[in-house]
Amino acid sequence: MGKCEEIVKKHKNGVTINLFVKAGSRKTIFPSGFNKSRKCVEMKVKSPAHENKANMEVLRTIAEFFKKPFSKVILVSGAKKKEKIVLIKNGKISDIVKKIEASLDGL
């Protein structure tokens, strides 16, 4: 599994991903990097961390990246923090890990 074995975990309802989100960036990027010390995938979003705008953009971006319906991506924890845990309902851990690791190659 490589880099992702500590950040992508099996959950009873699917798969969780540990994220570190930087709100108010010039561009939305997922994944924008891997933070080994925090054990999370980094992500940048254009929306400000105000009135839940950044959280909604995080969920939309994750849903689009994994080609899942928006309703299948849920913020489990970290609504008011930079470190977040997102659940992808009915996701397969092998598919999620493969897609993240492929995108992280070269970063």
CATH number of the 2-104 domain: 3.30.1200.10
Beta strands in the chain (DSSP E): 8-11, 14-22, 29-35, 40-44, 73-77, 83-89
Greater model confidence, 79 or 5: 79
Instruction: Categorise residue 90: left if φ over 0, alpha if ψ from -120 to 50, beta otherwise.
Output: left
Report the Cα 74 to chain-centroid distance in Å: 10
Where do the domains of the chain lie?
A: 2-104
Q: What tens digit of pLDDT does each residue of 21-53 get?
A: 999 999 999 999 999 899 999 999 999 999 999
Half-sphere exposure of 90 (CA within 13 A, CB side): 7
Q: What is the pTM of this model?
A: 0.93
